[in-house]
Structure 1
């Protein structure tokens, strides 16, 4: 799973996925949502006056508001969700949320000074809007990310991130499925791999202090 981590922008936001049926989405509402969410994340990343734990808490709060954790996790697990026990489902969702948060906080140093600007927004389907952004980091070439936004439970949510034409939610789903298949359909094997990834990210976070 480490290959996806390296490809992810701000780690956690690169694995977002749709939670389920969504309502028609207004382009202005979607754009305002991405602008506000992005500003909060950038502020947390660039807040050098707060300690790491405080910054992680800020990031966690933003992600919990921006993402339907259960819906996202269930989509990514795909058909394996139905094969998991209730206990495995519960642990998986907890690990999934922790992975999102740790992916970002482990890269605070890497993304110090990050900025973003809004590009064009367009209605993708009846149910979602694609909001383009340009991401800039010091000493790095700017790059574009498209954020797919839909309304889930009456609230706008990021439901996918498109980087270089690649849907990152589908990439994550493929990686998780591969882990399970390589282990003869064992959900427990995926959970163990996720725990290992979280431990690795925690180590990176400590080293970045």
Structure 2
């Protein structure tokens, strides 16, 4: 498994921590989450390797509260979001998030003593958008640069991740390109049907 793909897997997993952290300062939230998940991985790595479903259940329970699911769905579906029905929008968000969970849960067993360093949070003028730059230090390679993009959804005083960029590569844009091609070839409803049947996997070539 290549370095950047492992980074995607581990960084999505590193968002796991107590939901009480959701309203705190982004850097503090990310650092605490990373510390907690690394501690958990060190204690339970063998169990996760032996029981993949344990990883899936753990991510479903702990990761989802940190993601602005609708914002991520909008970014990935892009222009197709505007022409989709409300039912199709909701279905895509739910099925896409499930696909991300299933994909990145597998990364929990890939931990190899990586550590994370986070820079101070950068905010926009209205304090509604935040970016936290960080790097993943590896025992067998160069550090990997990571940016977390976070927003406060309307009506909530809690930060949610809307994108993760690894060495400048946007996760949301990578998957937007994949789904745009599939939707162009087959139509949105066909893609939704395939997602429901778990016939689509996330293309990791752009994460290399």
Q: Structure 1 residues 200 and 121, CA, compared in 2 at 3 Å: closer, same or farther?
A: closer
After superposition, the CA RMSD in angstroms is 3.3
In 2, are the aligned partners of 1:134 and 1:142 still within 8 Å (CA)?
Answer: yes
In structure 1, the partner of 2:38 is: 42
Q: Structure 1 residues 84 and 7, CA, compared in 2 at 3 Å: closer, same or farther?
A: farther
Number of aligned positions between the proteins: 183
Aligned: 1:175 with 2:178 = yes
Per the normalisation by structure 1, the TM-score is 0.70
Question: Which of structures 1 and 2 has the larger relative contact order (alpha carbons within 8 angstroms, sep 6+)?
Answer: 1
Tell me, in whole angstroms, the C-alpha distance in 2 between the residues paired with 1:84 and 1:117.
40
* SS in structure 1 at match of 2:70: helix
Task: Measure how far apart 1:13 and its partner are.
Answer: 3.5
1:125-181 CA-to-partner distances (Å, cap 9, x unmatched) read 532222111113442322110112222221111122222233332332232212211
Aligned: 1:156 with 2:152 = no
Per the normalisation by structure 2, the TM-score is 0.70
Unaligned runs of 5+ in 2: 14-22
In 1, are the aligned partners of 2:71 and 2:162 still within 8 Å (CA)?
Answer: no
Q: Structure 1 residues 197 and 73, CA, compared in 2 at 3 Å: closer, same or farther?
A: same
Query: Within 5 A, what are the aligned runs for 1:99-118?
Result: 99-118=99-118
1:53-110 CA-to-partner distances (Å, cap 9, x unmatched) read 3332222222211012233213321221243345543432222121121121222333
Stretch moving more, 47-56 or 95-104? 47-56
In structure 1, the partner of 2:145 is: 144
In 2, are the aligned partners of 1:180 and 1:190 still within 8 Å (CA)?
Answer: yes
In structure 2, the partner of 1:63 is: 63
